[in-house]
Amino acid sequence: MNTSVHSQLDQWSRFTPKQRLIRYGGFALTALIVAWALSSIDVIWAWVWDAPSQMGDLFGRMMPPDPQNLPSILEAIWQTVNIATLATLIAVVVSLPVAYIAAQNTTPNKFFLWVGRFILVSSRSVNTIIWALLFVAIFGPGIVAGIVAIMFRSIGFLGKLLGEAIEEIDRKPVEALEACGASRFKIVLYAIVPQVMPTFFAVAILRWDINLRESTVLGLVGAGGIGMILQGAIDTFNWPEVSMVLLTILALVILGEVVSSYLRKKIL
């Protein structure tokens, strides 16, 4: 890469000795860590060697999928879609003020900034399933616990990305409206909202897509949706129905991805 007298050298190496040392060190460290993990993990190795045949066996029992319960599966899928959609809608509305106070350039003061950040971090760090466990205990098993759980998890995601979008806006229109003597509220309305609108829609659609996936497992802890039927089928060893449910979930997720990419293209 440098243009010093290289023409007389007959040896070439891609990295300087120090770079090479770092690379080898990195490899060695990785190998060491993997070896440690492998040797100390609490696994019955006989089961591991047996795993492929077990998997094959299970797969064999799943075939062919059994469409007998398809109507109730589809109903549960519809419920799943509703959980994801409603939870996303509510979370979008709730996340707006959170994003507003968690963005450095719009927050009213330091106190609100930290309240906002606390909400975002606590929402994001606790997984949907754990939220669902909690809300099933409060609301009882069913779709409501699922909606609230998904919503709680989504607020952090939406609020963080929206807050970042607010922090990255172009200051110039804001300056222009300040010079016009517009109030704070109208500056937000005219100079900030239009700038974060594309991110807003993109993020909401993205989260809806993610929520569709997350909603499929809520039923496993009793929070409604297709997961309930899946859990039931697994508990009764009804493997053909399990595979039917899995196929339906696959169809749902792919459909969701198609819809969300269509919406993204349409809106942005």
Partner 1 sequence: MLKITNLTKRYGSGDPVLKGLDLTVEGDQITSVIGSSGAGKSTLLRCINRLVEPTSGSINLNGTEFTTLKRSELRAARRRIGMVFQGFNLIDRLTVMENVQSGRLGYIPPWPALTRRYPKDDIRRAYELMERVGIAHYADKRADELSGGERQRVGVVRALMQRPEILLADEPTASLDPKTSEQIMSLLRDLASELKLPVIINIHNVTEAKEYSDRIVGMRYGRIIFDDKPAQLTKTEMDEIYAGVPAQDRAAVGAAA
Partner 2 sequence: MSTQPDTWRKPPFIANPVLRYGLYIVTAVYVVFTLATLPIDWDRVSDGMTRAQRIFSGAFPPNFDRAGLLFDGFMESLKIAILATVGGIALSVPLAFMAASNIAVKPVYILGRAIIIIARSFHPVIVAIIFVKAVGFGPFAGALTLVVYSVGFVAKLLAERIEEIDFGQVEAMRAAGAAFIPTLVYAIIPQIMPRLVGLGIYQLDSNLRASAVVGIVGAGGIGATLANAFGRYDYDFALAITIVIVGVILISEAVSGVVRKRIA
Binding site for partner 1 (CB under 8 A): 172-173, 175-183, 185-187, 189-191, 194-195, 197-198
Amino acid at 20: R
Nearest approach, Cβ of residue 195 and partner 1 (Å): 7
- Given 72, 125, 236, 261, the residue binding partner 2 (CB under 8 A): 125
Nearest approach, Cβ of residue 213 and partner 2 (Å): 5
By CB under 8 A, residue 206 contacts partner 2: no
Q: Which of residues 11-40 bind partner 2 (CB under 8 A)?
A: 30, 33-34, 37-38, 40
From the list 93-101, 133-141, 165-173, 175-183, the region that binds partner 2 by CB under 8 A is 133-141
Nearest approach, Cβ of residue 20 and partner 2 (Å): 15
State which residue, 50 or 175, has the beta carbon closest to partner 2.
50
Question: Are 217 and 97 a contacting pair, CB within 8 Å?
Answer: no
By CB under 8 A, residue 263 contacts partner 2: no
By a kind-dependent CB cut-off of 5 to 8 A, residue 125 interacts, out of partner 2, partner 1, none, with: partner 2
